[in-house]
Amino acid sequence: MVDNVKIVDARGSFCPGPLMELIKGIRQEPVGTVLEVWSSDAGSAKDIPEWVKRAGQELVSSEQEVDVFKIRVKKIK
């Protein structure tokens, strides 16, 4: 049960793009926040997990709903 999920609606975002929108959210929100990025770019399913790993954050889930990718990331530090 996650009680504090922030939606980051980055559909149609070519610039700054879904990953940059996620980084903005991680920078702004307190530790413990779960961010759910909505992206219409298939590349997000690869580049978001890659950054999450490098940044030491936690990938919670990654799903595709029709043409929208929904990727949940928890800020753990």
Partner 1 sequence: MMKKIVILGGGVGGTVVANQVARAMTTEMKSGAIAVTVITESTQHIYQPMFLYLAFDRVVPAEAKKPERELLDRHIKIVTGIADRIDPESKQVRMTDGTAVPYDYLVIATGSRPAPEQVAGLSEGGHMFYTEESALKLRQALHDFHGGRIVITVGVPHKCPVAPLEFTFMVQEWAQSQGIADQTEIVYTYPIGRLHSLEPVAQWAEPVFAARHIEPHIFFNPELVDPVKKTITSLEGEVLDYDLLVAIPPHMGQDVIGRSGLGDAGQWIPTHRTSLQMEGSEDVFVLGDATNLPISKAGSTAHFEADVVASNLVNLLQGGLGSMRYDGKVFCFIETGLTKATYITFDYVHPPKPTEPTEMIHMFKLAYNRLYWLTPAGLL
Considering the complex, what minimum distance in angstroms separates the CB of residue 65 from partner 1? Answer: 18
Other beta carbons within 10 Å of 69: 22
- Residue 16, preceding bond cis, omega within 30 degrees? yes
Confirm or reject binding of residue 32 to partner 1 (CB under 8 A): no
Instruction: Determine which residue in the list 21, 36, 69, 74 makes contact with partner 1, applying CB under 8 A.
Output: 21
Confirm or reject binding of residue 68 to partner 1 (CB under 8 A): no
3-state helix, strand, coil in the chain (%, to 5): 30, 35, 40
Q: Which of 1, 3, 14, 15 is catalytic?
A: 15
Does residue 15 have an active-site annotation?
Answer: yes
Q: Which two tokens stand for residue 37?
A: 């990025």
Q: Residue 68: helix, strand or coil by DSSP? A: strand
Instruction: Determine which residue in the list 20, 31, 42, 76 makes contact with partner 1, applying CB under 8 A.
Output: 20
| Binding footprint of partner 1 on the chain (CB under 8 A) | 8-21, 23-24, 27-29, 43, 47, 50-51, 54-55
